[in-house]
């Protein structure tokens, strides 16, 4: 499959945002539910508020998680993400952000990926248009990771 001259080599990484009550143990119960169903949490971000928490998850099997959450009535949403491997590890963050800024694309949120192929630093980035963001970063020389890369 081609996207603007760039060969796309996989399925976009899909983030699952789950809305949880802000109570002790709620996140643990979600992670245990996923583990019990052989799903690994690969990335995690938590946005706290007084009554509810938004937990953003990158997982090894987003389809299974969506089915589990639907079966159990757990509210969630999905978003395509750009997962980028940073060339010089953490020192490559500025170059990544500069590439997105030069393309005038906004970053809505970002967080590190917990488990990466090859133990390289990776960043999950939520941008206005994931395909465009991936294209920009790819053209700037960054390696873009796909769901198949993360779900090994």
What's the confidence (pLDDT) of residue 87?
75
pTM listed for this prediction: 0.85
DSSP SS3 for 108: strand
Place of tokens 């690969």: 42
pLDDT band at residue 8, thresholds of 50, 70 and 90? low
**Topology (CATH level 3) of domain 2-12+80-150:** VC0802-like (3.30.2130)
Over range 31-54, report the average pLDDT. 89
Give the C-alpha separation, 83 to 130, whole Å. Answer: 10
Give the C-alpha separation, 97 to 85, whole Å. Answer: 12
Higher pLDDT, 72 or 49: 72
In the chain, alpha helices (H)? 26-36, 62-72, 93-102, 130-139, 147-150
Q: Please say whether the structural domain 14-79 has been given the CATH code 3.30.2130.10.
A: yes
- Say if residue 88's pLDDT is above 90: no
Over range 2-16, report the average pLDDT. 70
Tokens standing for 89? 């590890």
- Domain span(s) for CATH 3.30.2130.10 in the chain: 2-12+80-150, 14-79
Please name which of 148, 145, 74, 64 lies closest in space to residue 112, comparing C-alpha atoms: 145
CA 18 to the chain's CA centroid: 13
């Amino acid at each position: 499959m081609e996207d603007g001259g760039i060969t796309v080599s996989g399925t976009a990484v899909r983030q699952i945002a789950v809305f949880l009550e802000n109570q002790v143990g709620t996140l643990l119960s979600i992670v245990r539910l996923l583990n019990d169903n052989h799903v690994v949490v690969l990335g995690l971000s938590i946005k706290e508020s007084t009554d509810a928490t938004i937990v953003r998850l990158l997982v090894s099997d987003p389809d299974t998680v969506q089915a589990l959450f639907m079966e159990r009535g757990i509210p969630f949403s999905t978003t395509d993400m750009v997962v980028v491997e940073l060339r010089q590890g953490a020192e490559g963050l500025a170059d990544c952000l500069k590439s997105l800024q030069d393309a005038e694309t906004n970053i809505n949120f970002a967080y590190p990926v917990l488990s990466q192929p090859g133990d390289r630093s990776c960043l999950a980035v939520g941008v206005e248009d994931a395909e465009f963001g991936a294209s920009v970063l790819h053209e700037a020389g960054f390696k873009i990771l796909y769901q198949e890369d993360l779900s090994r």
